[in-house]
Copies of this chain bind each other. A is one copy, B any other.
């Protein structure tokens, strides 16, 4: 699965831990936004690791599979999966 993980973590200490965890699963696209190519079992492992790290009242994480439309503007980070519709 080609996934986007974006997160909003309140405390810097937790943010660093989440960032380090994400580096083991994917590639930073933007600040607090990662791109991952994961098997279902890896996605489950990531979800549990993140759920254990964050404060469920203050922080939020969104894990989203890439849909058919993917448009990038500006400095274009190469995406992992099959070519998408790139418009600039």
Contacts and interface: CB of A to CB of B under 8 A. Distances in A.
B68 A65 contact: yes
A2 to B, nearest CB: 8
A75 B56 CA distance: 6
**Assembly stoichiometry (copies):** 2
A11 interface: no
Main secondary structure of the interface of A (DSSP, over half): strand
Nearest to A84: B64
A37 interface: no
B73 A51 contact: yes
B70 A30 contact: no
Contacts of A87: 47
Interface in A24-75: 29-33, 43, 47, 50-51, 54-75
